[in-house]
Structure 1
Amino acid sequence: MMSSSKYERIVLKLSGEALAGGEGVGIKPDIIKNIAKQIKEARELDVEIAVIVGGGNIWRGKTGSDLGMERGNADYIGMLATVMNSLALQDSLEQLGVDTRVLTSIEMKQIAEPYIRRRAIRHLEKGRVVIFAAGIGNPYFSTDTTAALRAAEINADVILMGKNNVDGVYSADPKHDDTATKFESLSYIDMLQKNLQVMDATATSFCMDNSIPLVVFSITEEGNIKRAVLGEDIGTTITD
């Protein structure tokens, strides 16, 4: 595939909160349309794009567990929340003329295709944006881990992690610590040792073991997905 992008196949990881804007709850049509527009811009570079959206804008399994709900049930509700977000993003992309498929780890054939690795790769090769929903289909695993696993399965070149409240990885929370400094680059070992919590430890270790680079950047600045795909110096790059 000939492309002006740095990468040929990417996994774009979005938090559920990224679809909710500043409020952090629900799905905001103008926000999701902006993200869809950015994804379309990146797709026009002939890069193959898989997307994973969290569900934190609707439900967090850990929150339900902390309130006394059985953890497995709480996590399954969270997985269903990711399906809702995925369908909303699919609709916005298709309104822009972007051919899109939602593949879900929990079978619900009336609304999405079941996740099959070879099918996902075939969709990507045909130029479709693929959205992976319902995590990995098992409780106790985050959508960060899903991103790491799916990236390895489809042989993605990179995971692009779009954040809605920060433009990279910092030494501390820049909202509460004026001395926080931004890292231009990090190793996965550094990230674990410094306990920077960019993604959970399971996902971090998986990326490290499988040599999957990670780029953390701001999703709120228009055009940033395209810039990340082009390899421009935005955000923080993490490698093994």
Structure 2
Amino acid sequence: MSAQSPRYRRILLKLSGEALMGGDAYGINRQTIAGIVSEIKAIVDLGVQVGVVIGGGNIFRGVAPAARGMDRAQADYMGMLATVMNGLALHDAMRSAGMASRVQSALNIEQVVEPYIRAKAIRYLEQGRTVIFSGGTGNPFFTTDTAAALRGAEIGAEIVLKATKVD
């Protein structure tokens, strides 16, 4: 393997929602997300196929106190929707950086993002597009870390990298 050749051909990156906050208390810090996208772009420019599973803690953890006492499954669905919002923000930042990307969701909300379809995700990766997986697993009681392991296995990622910022 030459010094210029990447070690992995296809990777899955797990980003926490909190990683998007930068120094802010909640939400999405545009400078921070631009920096993350710049680092992902550098990897993609090496020819590495990148899938990203995004968390929703930057949005949902701020709502969590209001969700106390709420049905757990209902609260988990709210968290899944937060990941879709983050996926859209990441996609927009990638578009601004000149990257080709697609957002897929485990939840069916086709007016906003396309549904997760394994074969399409793999085809997008092979075309050099970054695929952003949102909506977790689509099932309550599972974390986005579980979704990362699942999507990584499904797309044939050679490694799953966890880049999270969670208390």
Same fold per superposition (TM over 0.5):
yes
What TM-score do the two structures reach when normalised by structure 1? 0.65
Alpha-carbon separation, structure 1, partners of 2:69 and 2:62: 11
Partner SS, residue 57 of structure 1: helix
| Pairs within 5 Å for 1:15-30 | 15-30=16-31
Q: Which moved more, 1:141-150 or 1:3-12?
A: 3-12
In the alignment, which residue of structure 1 is the partner of 2:162? 161
Q: Is the 8 A contact 1:83 1:133 kept in 2?
A: yes
Say yes or no: does 1:97 pair with 2:102: no
| Pairs within 5 Å for 1:25-174 | 25-60=26-61, 63=64, 67-164=68-165
Alpha-carbon separation, structure 1, partners of 2:139 and 2:25: 25
Alpha-carbon separation, structure 1, partners of 2:72 and 2:66: 5
Alpha-carbon separation, structure 2, partners of 1:75 and 1:61: 14
Q: Is the 8 A contact 2:26 2:62 kept in 1?
A: no
Alpha-carbon separation, structure 2, partners of 1:105 and 1:65: 25
Q: Is the 8 A contact 1:60 1:75 kept in 2?
A: no
Alpha-carbon separation, structure 2, partners of 1:148 and 1:83: 18
Give the superposition deviation at 1:23: 2.9
What TM-score do the two structures reach when normalised by structure 2? 0.92
Aligned residues: 165
Deviations 1:63-93, CA, capped at 9 Å, x for gaps: 4697100001100000000000000000000
Alpha-carbon separation, structure 1, partners of 2:65 and 2:158: 35
Alpha-carbon separation, structure 1, partners of 2:140 and 2:164: 24
In structure 1, list runs of 5 or more residues that go unmatched: 166-172, 174-240
Structure with the larger helix share: 2
Q: Which runs of 4+ in 1 moved over 2 A?
A: 60-66
Q: Is the 8 A contact 1:61 1:74 kept in 2?
A: no
Alpha-carbon separation, structure 1, partners of 2:130 and 2:7: 18
Q: Is the 8 A contact 2:10 2:48 kept in 1?
A: yes
Q: Which has the higher contact order (CA 8 A, sep 6+)?
A: 2
Alpha-carbon separation, structure 1, partners of 2:70 and 2:123: 39
Deviations 1:75-130, CA, capped at 9 Å, x for gaps: 00000000000000000001111000000011111121110111110110110000
Q: Is the 8 A contact 1:61 1:76 kept in 2?
A: no
Deviations 1:143-182, CA, capped at 9 Å, x for gaps: 00000000111110001111347xxxxxxx9xxxxxxxxx
Greater CA radius of gyration, 1 or 2? 1
